[in-house]
Structure 1
C-alpha cells in the first residue's frame, strides 16, 4: 500500500496507537505531522520517527492547536490528505466512574478530553478541505465501550458516553460532507496496552477476564500496532468509497460474553 505524495496529521500521535500509526504511515511513504501535549512525548516521538516527520506540541482541547498544525503541515508538505484523531483519555482521576458516583468535574473533563478535542480537530480539518476545494479523509478514535459495555471492570460512564457520541458525530458529518468527497470513519478498539490503559493492563483479574473477552491470538490486550492495518485502509486514497463506518478492532470483544 503506497502512500507516496500524501500528508497526514495525527492528533495525539506521540504515544501509543497514534505513534504506531504515524510510524506505519511514514514507512509507507506518507508525510506525517504528529501532535502531542507535552515536550517529553514530542521529543520521544521525534527520536522514534526520525528525520522527515514534523512535530507540534499543543493541547487538543485548545482550538488553536489544530489550526497551527494544519498551517505547519501545509507550508512544509503542501496539500494535506487527512487527519487521524487519537487524542483523548480517561477522566477517572477527575471523578468519572459509575453514574451514581460521577462528579460534574469528571463528566466535563471526560467530555472535553474525548469529544470536544475531536470536534475541534475535525472542524479545523473540514474547513481546510473546504477552503482548498479538495477531498480528504478523517479517521476518529472511538472505543468498544461506546456500544459494547463491560460492567464489572470498565465502569467509566462519562467515557462510554463520549465514545458513543464520537460515533454519532462522525456519522453525521460523514453524511453531510459526502457530496464534497470528505470521508469520515471511526475505529473502535478494545483494551490495548497504552499509557491510558495502565490500570487495567496491570490488573491480573482483568487480564484473566480478557482471555475470554478478547479471545483472538491467545486472549490478550491489543498492541498499538494491531490497529495499523485498519488505519492504513481507512486513510488510503483508494478507500474513496468508504465513509460513515465504524470498525471494531477488538480481538473478539464484541462477540464474547467474557468469563469471570
Structure 2
C-alpha cells in the first residue's frame, strides 16, 4: 500500500485524480441523504416559523458572527443533555435557512436558551458580558441598543423564505414590518392581527425595554428567546 501511494505521488496527474475520487466519495456520502430529507424529516405539526422580529434578530446574530462561537445543536450525549436539555431534532430546523447547527463551543450551546434568562439579563449581557458573567470572553455589542432596526426589507425576506418552503402566507409577508413593531409593543393597534397570524405562543413585549423605539437589541433578544420554543416536539414524551 505504501509503495502504491509512493508511486502515485510520482505521477502528479494520477495523484490529482485520486484526490478528486476520494473527495467525490466523501461528498456523495454527505450530500446524497439530502435528496431524501423531505421523506426522513417529519415537520412537527406545531412548528412555527420565526416572526419578522425574530427573523431580523437572527440576521443580526449571523451578521455579528455569533454562530462562530455558539452552536445550536445539542448532541445525544449524556453530559450535553444534562447541561443543555433534550438533544436537538432535525425537524426543529426545518424552516431555518441557513441552519446554525455545529459543534463550536467557545460559548455555550444556545439551542434551548429561549426564556432561560430574562430580557433584562440578555440586554445587560449583550451590552457588557462581564457585568453578568465575570469570566466571559464574549465581545460586547453595545451598539445594538442604539441602532434602530431596519424593518423595510422584512417583507422581501419573508417572501424569499416562502419560496424555499417556509410557511409565510401572503398576509404574513404583507404585514411583516407592522408585525415586527407589534411584537415589541404590547399595546400596539396591530397586536391582535399579529397574534392571529403567529399564534398566542409567541412572546409579545418590549424585549429591549424601550417602548419609544424599535432597536436591533429588541430583535436579537426576541430571537434568542425563541430558541428551543418553536415547537413542543422535544418536550413531548415519546
Larger radius of gyration: 2
Superposition TM-score, scaled by structure 1 size:
0.26
With a CA cutoff of 8 Å and minimum separation of 6, indicate the structure with the bigger relative contact order. Answer: 2
Superposition TM-score, scaled by structure 2 size:
0.28
